[in-house]
Amino acid sequence: QVQLVQSGAEVKKPGASVKVSCKASGYTFTGYYIHWVRQAPGQGLEWMGRINPNSGDTNYAQNFQGRVTMTGDTSINTAYLELNRLRSDDTAVYYCARDRTWFPFDYWGQGTLVTVSS
């Protein structure tokens, strides 16, 4: 069965970086995009960007350009989200999700809470 399993919760200080992982199983990792979506406490869903694990090509939302890096390791079927220069308003649950071209997100990770606090 398809699973996306994310790394555990993180607590970071302002200005630091965080790296969240998303391990895929049950399907061909290189056949689907991996997207990252975040949700601040009590707020809506915000798309951050995506990676094509097959090519390594990425597309980032304008709000995160210059501060985010998405990578993938096809040898262990794992995608990564790195967010730099953290601020308190980056406190959120970060989700990974998969899709294919012209299809919506059909599987999601369980979410990773990142707390940014001094």
Partner 1 sequence: DIQMTQSPSTLSASVGDRVTITCRASQSISSWLAWYQQKPGKAPKLLIYKASSLEGGVPSRFSGSGSGTEFTLTISSLQPDDFATYYCQQYNRYRTFGGGTKVEIK
Q: E strand or H helix at 71, and its extent?
A: strand 68-73
Q: How far is the CB of 13 from partner 1 (least distance, A)?
A: 26
CB-CB contact of 59 with 66 (8 Å): no
DSSP assignments along 2-67, one per residue: -EEEE---EEE-TT--EEEEEEEESS-GGGSEEEEEEE-TT---EEEEEE-TTT--EEE-GGGTTT
Q: Does 75 help bind partner 1 (rule: CB under 8 A)?
A: no
Task: Fill in the per-residue mask, 5 to 44: x = in contact with partner 1 (CB under 8 A), - = not in contact.
Answer: ------------------------------x-x------x
Q: Which residue in 32, 64, 109, 112 binds partner 1 (CB under 8 A)?
A: 109
Q: How far is the CB of 8 from partner 1 (least distance, A)?
A: 16
| Chain contacts with partner 1 (rule: CB under 8 A) | 35, 37, 44-47, 50, 59, 61-62, 95, 97, 99, 102-106, 108-111
